[in-house]
């Protein structure tokens, strides 16, 4: 294999593939008359990207993903040459040569499941920033580390929970197709959302799920997602509703949260046309702040972990939100007063005050 490629675009393709795969994955480089294909598989996922290149000699090699990505990222030359030299892949630029070992094992790029629909890439990225971040990070509970992806006739629904909170986002589909219902690793979706551009294709066949856009395809194995549903959360016993600017509430939570106890719990005291935040800790003092709000229903004082409130409000930046507070230890439901194309619902479980 022998080719010359623009350094920046090659580096972007290799780095994207390396981030979507595990750190020690091998990366397949396949050069042909149509340019360069960069791809890889690990135990659960597969990725394939295309990159412009001038091919001097066709061929394919398997090399370590991490070192190649790091080498290309540090190059300042406009063009780079990749050429096989014996048991090495040489990365050549003017005045420099960097050689990577060729891996001996075989790797075949998996085919994509059939495309069943399409969605707007920026809207998908907006939804996943909040929903994927709500999934659990603890691999000991794999069923909570994924995002449930459901497609209906004209709607895509994304759901994730770490057992203490849940986020649900809906957004319109651009094309009607076969329904999808799959539990997809949240980490993969979060990284994919950072890279997706333009219109994103949705792929699925019951055992695998995939996304595609402008020269990029990503697939992964899926789990049964039936257990993860907002219908399992009681939300019909709202006692108090509070409408308030999300940014103002988030700023107050950050300030008052500095004085919270070791559990980082603060209290929201609902009054007439106001919301009072309060927290205290024996060795750091106490804090309170009052914000103007539109209040309807009863008056209540639920307590929440500050971090969970901030994570929820981040998804509503620049918007006005409604907090539907339920009695007892039932979830508080947070929604935008005037939702856009991406309609987000966030459920936060209250904490017992001390």
Q: Over the chain, what HEC string results?
A: CEEEEEHHHHHHHHHHHHHHCCCCCEEEEEEECCEEEEEEECCCEEEEEEECCEEEECEEEEEEHHHHHHHHHHCCCCEEEEEEECCEEEEEECCEEEEEECCCCCCCCCCCCCEEEEEEHHHHHHHHHHHHHHCCCCCCCHHHCEEEEEECCCEEEEEEECCCEEEEEEEEECCCCCCEEEEEEHHHHHHHHHHCCCEEEEEECCCEEEEEECCEEEEEECECCCCCCHHHCCCCCCCEEEEEEHHHHHHHHHHHHCCCCCCCEEEEEEECCEEEEEEEECCCEEEEEEEECEEEECCCCCEEEHHHHHHHHHCCCCCEEEEEECCCCCCEEEEECCCCCCEEEEEECCECCC
Asked if the domains at 115-231 and 233-348 fall in one CATH topology, the answer is yes
Supply the pLDDT for residue 212: 93
Our measurement of the distance from residue 245's CA atom to the centroid of its chain's CA atoms, rounded to an integer in Å, reads 25
CATH topology of domain 233-348: DNA Polymerase III; Chain A, domain 2 (3.10.150)
Query: How much is the pLDDT for 354?
Result: 62
The residue extents of the domains of the chain are: 2-101, 115-231, 233-348
Superfamily name with CATH number, domain 115-231:
DNA Polymerase III, subunit A, domain 2 (3.10.150.10)
Q: Does domain 2-101 have CATH number 3.10.150.10?
A: yes
Pairing state between β 303-305 and 265-271: antiparallel
Tell me phi and psi for residue 213, to 5 degrees. -165, 150
Per-residue pLDDT of the chain (354 residues; tens, 9 = 90+): 999 999 999 999 999 888 888 767 789 999 998 899 999 887 778 899 999 999 999 999 999 988 999 999 999 999 999 999 999 999 999 999 999 999 987 777 778 899 999 999 999 999 999 999 999 887 667 778 899 999 887 899 999 998 889 999 999 998 777 888 989 989 889 888 888 889 999 999 888 999 999 889 999 988 776 677 787 777 788 999 999 999 999 999 999 999 888 788 999 999 999 999 999 887 778 999 999 999 999 889 999 999 999 999 999 999 999 999 999 889 999 999 999 999 999 999 998 866
Tokens 């909170």 identify what position?
Answer: 165
pTM assigned to the model: 0.86
């Amino acid at each position: 294999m022998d080719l010359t490629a623009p350094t920046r675009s090659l580096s972007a393709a290799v780095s994207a593939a390396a981030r979507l795969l595990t750190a020690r994955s091998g990366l397949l480089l396949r050069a042909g008359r149509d340019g360069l294909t960069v791809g890889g598989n690990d135990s659960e996922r597969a990725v394939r990207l295309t990159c412009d290149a001038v091919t001097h000699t066709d061929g394919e090699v398997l090399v370590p993903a991490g070192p190649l990505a790091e080498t290309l990222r540090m190059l300042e030359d406009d063009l780079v040459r990749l050429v096989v030299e014996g048991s090495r892949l040489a990365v050549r630029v003017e005045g420099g040569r960097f050689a990577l070992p060729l891996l001996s094992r075989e790797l075949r790029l998996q085919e994509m499941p059939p495309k069943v629909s399409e969605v707007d890439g920026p809207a998908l990225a907006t939804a996943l920033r909040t929903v994927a971040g709500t999934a659990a990070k603890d691999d000991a509970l794999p069923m909570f580390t994924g995002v449930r992806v459901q497609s209906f006739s004209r709607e895509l629904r994304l759901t994730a929970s770490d057992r203490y909170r849940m986020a649900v986002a809906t957004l319109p589909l651009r094309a009607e197709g076969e329904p999808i219902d799959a539990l997809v690793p949240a980490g993969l979706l979060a990284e994919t959302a950072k890279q997706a551009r333009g219109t994103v294709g949705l792929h699925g066949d019951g055992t695998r799920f995939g996304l595609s856009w402008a020269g990029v395809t990503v697939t992964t194995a899926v789990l049964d997602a039936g257990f993860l549903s907002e219908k399992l959360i009681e939300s019909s016993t709202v006692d108090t509703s509070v409408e308030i600017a999300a940014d103002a509430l988030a700023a107050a939570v950050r300030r008052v949260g500095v004085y919270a106890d070791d559990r980082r719990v603060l209290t929201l005291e609902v009054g007439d046309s106001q919301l009072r935040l309060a927290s205290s800790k024996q060795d750091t003092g106490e804090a309170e702040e009052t914000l103007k709000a539109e209040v309807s229903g009863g008056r209540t004082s639920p307590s929440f972990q500050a971090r969970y409130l901030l994570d929820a409000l981040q998804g509503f930046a620049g918007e006005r939100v409604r907090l539907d507070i339920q009695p007892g230890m039932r979830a508080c439901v947070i929604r935008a007063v005037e939702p856009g194309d991406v309609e987000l619902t966030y459920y936060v479980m209250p904490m017992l005050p001390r």
